């Protein structure tokens, strides 16, 4: 390609009830509304927490994008009725379906990827206002309804994006309340057997490289979980600006945290599980959840729970295990407080490789319940205390917890009859 991916810019959600999602993001999860784009036929609202940006697009009111090749000025921008920096998909459900990536040469990427046979939903489009120009194109992913806006902001001096009206005059500082710092990972759910194709496409097309989840991750098979006849396979990747150092890939620019993509699928011949539920209720492959990094997961979870956010709670037995209790205490936490929040704690999966005089490393995680009406998209809070991968124990415990929720939801209608 003519240039590398620079960083992730935002993730787009397409929802029918913008007001509900706005209330959830702002009131419960402590995002801040930073910019809006309102027309007679569409609403696009941008929210930020830390360096994480979600753009919420109103689903169902737009008939088409109507993206011209160039939007010349503020007047043209105000007359543009479709989504800017995205498409207006005719998708029947609420969905998170666009991960926007910053590049330096959209036209170069466009021509190079077309030669590889890639499909673009929106060709290179220039959007201008008094602060300069942004150029973007929308690339169709190989996975489900997922797409990627490739955007070049190098010629733009504004605080956000042309076409949006700022709610906060300094959106670069909005959402920096300490609860969330950056996006840690995005998990993609796909049908059985598709993850190698997904990994290959992202490697060939966008320059992603294999990211090893932990020492049990296999280059070819990924990381496999198989419990009580219900199993899944995980594989992870990261874009190529990050270099290999030891077990995993780590970003050279520590001021621009990298974000990993995790691909998950069910194991063939096993029982039905949460991935199958997502694929059924979402109508196909897509973004299952997004991991948000926090430097204080207990405070963040408490704050969000007090505001009405709902998290998956873990069984008390998890916190009553002697080794787990000791690990929690050694990390400086009260097992009862973690239990109340549903927070899981894992030691470094490579702990046996550490010298005895080194401080122990920990990974803490908790999942929200689904944000949409269907059992599809949800959020994760994750705190990394020296761990760069994903803990085996946490993955299994989180998987069990989500599976219990899915099973209970499935059985609830039958019990009511």
Three-state helix/strand/coil letters over 1-35: CCCCCCEEEEEEEEECCHHHHHHHHHHHCCCEEEE
Beta carbons within 8 Å of 386's beta carbon, 6+ residues apart: 348, 359, 361, 362
Which stretches of 240-353 are assigned E, i.e. beta strand?
242-245, 248-251, 260-266, 286-293, 344-347
Q: How confident is the model over 202-218, as a mean pLDDT?
A: 88
Q: Is 331 a residue whose pLDDT tops 50?
A: yes
Kindly report which listed range (97-101, 225-229, 385-389) carries the lowest average pLDDT score. 225-229
Q: Which of helix, strand or coil describes residue 365?
A: strand
> So what's the pLDDT on residue 401?
72
Which H helix or E strand runs over 306?
helix 297-306
Cα separation, 313 vs 401, whole angstroms: 7
Q: How confident is the model over 336-352, as a mean pLDDT?
A: 81
Do residues 309 and 29 touch, judged by C-beta distance below 8 A? Answer: yes
Give me the residues paired with residue 110 across strands.
Answer: none
Q: Is 189 a residue whose pLDDT tops 80?
A: yes
Q: Where is pLDDT greater, at 7 or 156?
A: 156
Q: How confident is the model over 99-121, as a mean pLDDT?
A: 96
Give me the residues paired with residue 344 across strands.
Answer: 365
Q: Which residue has the tokens 């020296």?
A: 386
Q: What is the phi/psi pair of residue 394, to 5°?
A: -65, -40
Which H helix or E strand runs over 395?
helix 392-416
Strands 182-189 and 260-266: parallel
Helix axes 274-282, 392-416, angle to 10 degrees: 60
Question: If pLDDT is split at 50, 70 and 90, which confidence band does 409 have?
Answer: low
Question: If pLDDT is split at 50, 70 and 90, which confidence band does 264 have?
Answer: very high
Q: How confident is the model over 328-357, as a mean pLDDT?
A: 79
Helix, strand, coil share of the chain (percent; to 5): 25, 35, 40
Kindly report which listed range (1-15, 287-301, 400-414) carries the lowest average pLDDT score. 400-414
Question: If pLDDT is split at 50, 70 and 90, which confidence band does 206 have?
Answer: very high
For the CA atoms of 253, 331, 396, 406, the dihedral, rounded to the nearest 10 degrees, stands at: -100
> So what's the pLDDT on residue 224?
86
Q: Where is pLDDT greater, at 289 or 254?
A: 289
> So what's the pLDDT on residue 396?
72
> DSSP for 397-412?
HHHHHHHHHHHHHHHH
Class level of CATH domain 182-416: alpha beta
Q: Is 2 a residue whose pLDDT tops 80?
A: no
Q: Where is pLDDT greater, at 82 or 105?
A: 105
Q: Is the dihedral of CA 192, 200, 261, 148 positive or negative?
A: negative
Give me the residues paired with residue 147 across strands.
Answer: 98, 140
Beta carbons within 8 Å of 30's beta carbon, 6+ residues apart: 49, 175, 177, 179, 180, 303, 304, 307
The two most distant CA atoms of the chain are separated, in Å, by 66
Cα separation, 139 vs 151, whole angstroms: 11
Which tokens sit at 256?
């621009």
Residue extents of the structural domains in the chain: 7-173, 182-416
CATH fold of 7-173: 2,3-Dihydroxybiphenyl 1,2-Dioxygenase; domain 1 (3.10.180)
Burial class of residue 355 in the structure, from the number of CB atoms within 10 Å of its CB (0-12 exposed, 13-18 middle, 19+ buried) = exposed
Q: Where is pLDDT greater, at 59 or 253?
A: 59
Question: If pLDDT is split at 50, 70 and 90, which confidence band does 57 have?
Answer: very high
> So what's the pLDDT on residue 245?
36
Kindly report which listed range (136-150, 185-199, 388-402) carries the lowest average pLDDT score. 388-402
């Amino acid at each position: 390609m003519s240039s590398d991916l620079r960083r992730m810019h935002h993730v787009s959600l397409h929802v029918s009830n913008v007001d509900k999602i706005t209330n959830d993001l702002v009131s419960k999860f402590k995002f801040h509304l930073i910019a809006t784009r309102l027309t007679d036929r569409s609403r696009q609202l941008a929210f930020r927490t830390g360096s994480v940006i979600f753009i919420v697009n109103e689903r169902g009111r737009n008939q088409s994008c109507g993206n011209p090749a160039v939007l010349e000025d503020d007047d043209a921008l105000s007359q543009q009725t479709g989504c800017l920096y995205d498409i207006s998909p005719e998708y029947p459900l609420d969905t998170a379906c666009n991960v926007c990536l910053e590049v330096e040469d959209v036209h170069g990427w466009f021509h190079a990827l077309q030669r590889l046979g890639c499909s673009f939903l929106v060709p290179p489009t220039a959007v201008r206002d008094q602060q300069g120009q942004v150029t973007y194109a929308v690339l169709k992913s190989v996975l489900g309804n997922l797409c990627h806006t490739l955007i070049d902001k190098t010629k733009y001096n504004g605080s956000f994006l042309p076409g949006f009206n700022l709610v906060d005059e300094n959106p670069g500082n909005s959402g920096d309340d300490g609860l969330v710092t950056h996006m840690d990972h995005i998990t993609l759910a796909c049908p059985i057997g598709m993850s190698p194709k997904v990994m290959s496409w992202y490697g060939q097309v966008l320059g992603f490289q294999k990211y090893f989840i932990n020492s049990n991750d296999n280059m070819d098979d990924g990381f496999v979980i198989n419990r009580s006849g219900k199993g899944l396979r995980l594989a992870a990747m990261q874009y190529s600006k990050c270099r290999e150092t030891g077990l995993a890939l780590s970003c050279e620019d520590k001021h621009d945290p990298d974000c990993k993509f995790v691909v998950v699928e069910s194991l063939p011949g096993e029982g039905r599980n949460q991935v199958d539920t997502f694929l059924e209720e979402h109508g196909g492959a897509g973004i299952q959840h997004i991991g948000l990094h926090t430097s204080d997961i207990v405070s963040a979870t408490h704050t969000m729970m007090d505001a009405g956010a709902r998290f998956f709670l873990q069984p008390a037995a998890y916190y009553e295990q002697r080794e787990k209790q000791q690990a929690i205490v050694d990390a400086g936490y009260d097992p009862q407080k973690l239990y109340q929040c549903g927070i899981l704690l894992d030691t470094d999966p490579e702990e046996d490789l550490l010298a005895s005089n080194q401080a122990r490393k920990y990974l803490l995680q908790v999942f929200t319940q689904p944000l949409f009406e269907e059992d599809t998209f949800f959020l994760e809070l994750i705190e990394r205390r020296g761990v760069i991968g994903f803990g085996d124990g946490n993955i299994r415990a989180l998987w069990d917890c989500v599976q219990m929720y899915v099973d209970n939801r499935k059985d609830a209608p039958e019990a009511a009859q």
